[in-house]
């Protein structure tokens, strides 16, 4: 099946975990909703198109490299109803992150539009916050076949009773981030205001590693890189 593969690199990015406020934590990799948001932006589309793309696009994410994670802190003024005064907000940020992204869809025309926008974006690409710009490298259309595998190189969904172990990728990676399980929403209900996150999944995220699962999953194979990818 045809898919699009590309690399995004950022100097400083943050993928905020929603449940955190005064000390805002970051995911190790962008989520599906954030990647589709970036694609919607560079395709020159609007918010309504964004929700359509969330339903049509499958996203695979391989965190290739993270230099480090640091805390950014600043002060802000509080409303009088909250006691006025000032408070400190801390936000985790990823320094020099590099991510391999895959896009899959049944709509061949939409896949062509994605490929065209990666080469010639209509707007400046950003990932995370609006001012956290990224560079898009090596966009390429590839063919991926699906098969049952137990080794996975992308972030993946954790099923009930599943166990896994991890090992470093066979590449020169300076910093390794061991797996952790997080809860992520993969879609939104935009028929209410404010919109509500839906379709929650337990995701295993990591960087510079591959994982061996205790059972096979239906994965898509990148033959060139020898990566097994789960699409979210």
pTM: 0.92
d(CA 131, CA 176): 27
Query: How does residue 86 score in pLDDT terms, banded at 50, 70 and 90?
Result: confident
Q: At what angle do helices 32-42 and 47-56 cross, to 10 degrees?
A: 130
SS3 at position 5: strand
d(CA 96, CA 132): 11
Find residue 69's DSSP bridge partners. 94
N- to C-terminal Cα distance for the chain?
Answer: 16
Encoded tokens for 29: 């990799």
Encoded tokens for 190: 């935009």
pLDDT, tens digit, 9 for 90 and up, residues 60-77: 999 999 999 998 887 777
Whole-Å CA distances, 97 to 1, 8, 48, 124, 146: 28, 8, 29, 18, 28
Residue 130 pLDDT: 83
2-229: CATH topology is: Alpha-Beta Plaits (3.30.70)
The pair phi, psi for residue 80, each rounded to 5°, is -60, -35
pLDDT, tens digit, 9 for 90 and up, residues 156-199: 999 999 999 999 887 666 688 999 999 999 999 988 888 999 99
Residue 75 pLDDT: 76
Please compute the mean of the pLDDT values over residues 134-144 and round it to a whole number: 97
- Domain limits, the chain: 2-229
Residue 82 pLDDT: 59
């Amino acid at each position: 099946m045809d898919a699009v593969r590309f690399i995004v690199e950022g100097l400083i990015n943050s993928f905020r975990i929603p449940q955190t406020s005064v000390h805002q934590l970051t995911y190790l990799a962008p989520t599906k909703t954030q990647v589709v948001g970036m694609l919607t932006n560079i395709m020159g589309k609007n918010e309504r198109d964004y929700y359509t793309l969330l339903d049509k696009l499958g996203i695979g994410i391989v965190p290739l490299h993270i230099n480090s994670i640091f805390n950014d802190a600043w002060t802000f003024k509080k409303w009088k109803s909250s006691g006025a005064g000032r408070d400190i907000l801390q936000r985790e940020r990823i320094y020099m992150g590099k991510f391999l992204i895959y896009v899959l869809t049944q709509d061949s025309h939409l896949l062509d539009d994605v490929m065209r926008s990666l080469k010639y974006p209509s707007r400046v690409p950003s990932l995370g916050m609006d001012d956290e710009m990224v560079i898009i490298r090596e966009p390429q259309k590839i063919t991926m076949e699906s098969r049952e595998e137990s080794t996975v190189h992308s972030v993946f969904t954790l099923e009930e009773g599943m166990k896994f172990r991890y090992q470093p990728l066979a590449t020169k990676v300076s910093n390794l981030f061991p797996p952790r399980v997080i809860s992520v929403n993969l879609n939104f209900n935009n028929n209410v205001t404010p919109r509500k996150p839906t379709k929650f999944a337990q995701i295993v995220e990591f960087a510079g590693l591959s994982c061996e699962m205790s059972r096979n999953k239906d994965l898509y194979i990148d033959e060139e890189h020898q990566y097994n990818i789960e699409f979210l």
